[in-house]
Structure 1
């Protein structure tokens, strides 16, 4: 009897994660607008993105230069196009979790890279440019 109760409890605890729905464009905009989010990948800092009005963004890989772009919804995923690569769409499925956003890259071969929010700020992204430094 206790074994069945324990198994039922574990199944119930697992349901919210399994039933997690991808964010809509409206939910993504409401969560991100006016914020700067830092993302991690496999325990390592990955990049930072500032979410601006009119679905504009500013992205930088850790230690990299900023890239301006836009985001939009296409077929239920959130896609980004950056000014430095106007013909390349980067599409992600985002989920809102208790720990922040989780994004799964939707590449031509299916889902791959998974990023997760590690920090959130209302401060603008500080950009490095070419030739900045000593």
Structure 2
């Protein structure tokens, strides 16, 4: 009785695994399902960048961690999630992907632009100070 050669099988096992398929951008429904009711901290280059609270009705509150919070809303356009804030009416659009470590966001879907990532929960509440008060 002859057995098939194991050499082709071993050679196939030694080949590198094919690259993982590129993650698809999150559409509005998937983004809303993941974010609604959560407060997410975002990092950039190893530092905390900002925090955003996701509310029902596609509303958000953003802060650069300075106590100043901006209310806004988001919508989907051309495969990106775009945000408009009360102090900045021009849309800020990001390509969001969901990976094993959470969200990543690439500004304007440009590989050379800012890329944020969901930072670990730092165990603090989002701080929003009241409006500036004069004397």
CA distance in 1 between partners of 2:38 and 2:121 (Å)? 7
- Go from structure 1 to structure 2 and tell me whether the alpha carbon gap of 1:124 and 1:44 turns closer, same or farther (over 3 Å shift): closer
What residue in structure 1 maps to residue 94 of structure 2?
92
**Structure 1 stretches of 4+ moved >3 Å:** 1-7, 129-132
The Cα of 1:119 is off from its aligned counterpart by 2.9
RMSD of Structure 2 on Structure 1 (CA): 2.4
Structure with the higher strand share, 1 or 2: 1
What residue in structure 1 maps to residue 63 of structure 2?
60
1:115 is the counterpart of 2:116:
yes
CA distance in 1 between partners of 2:13 and 2:59 (Å)? 50
CA distance in 2 between partners of 1:35 and 1:124 (Å)? 11
For residues 10-49 of structure 1, what are the structure 2 equivalents within 5 Å?
A: 11=18, 14-15=19-20, 18-49=21-52
CA distance in 1 between partners of 2:32 and 2:15 (Å)? 38
Normalization by structure 2: what TM-score?
Answer: 0.79
Gaps of 5+ in 1: none
The Cα of 1:63 is off from its aligned counterpart by 2.0
Normalization by structure 1: what TM-score?
Answer: 0.80
Q: SS where residue 120 of structure 2 aligns? A: strand
CA distance in 1 between partners of 2:15 and 2:79 (Å)? 34
Give yes or no for contact 2:65–2:127 (8 Å, CA) kept in 1: no
Structure with the higher helix share, 1 or 2: 1
Q: Which has the higher contact order (CA 8 A, sep 6+)?
A: 1
The Cα of 1:124 is off from its aligned counterpart by 6.1
Gaps of 5+ in 2: 1-6
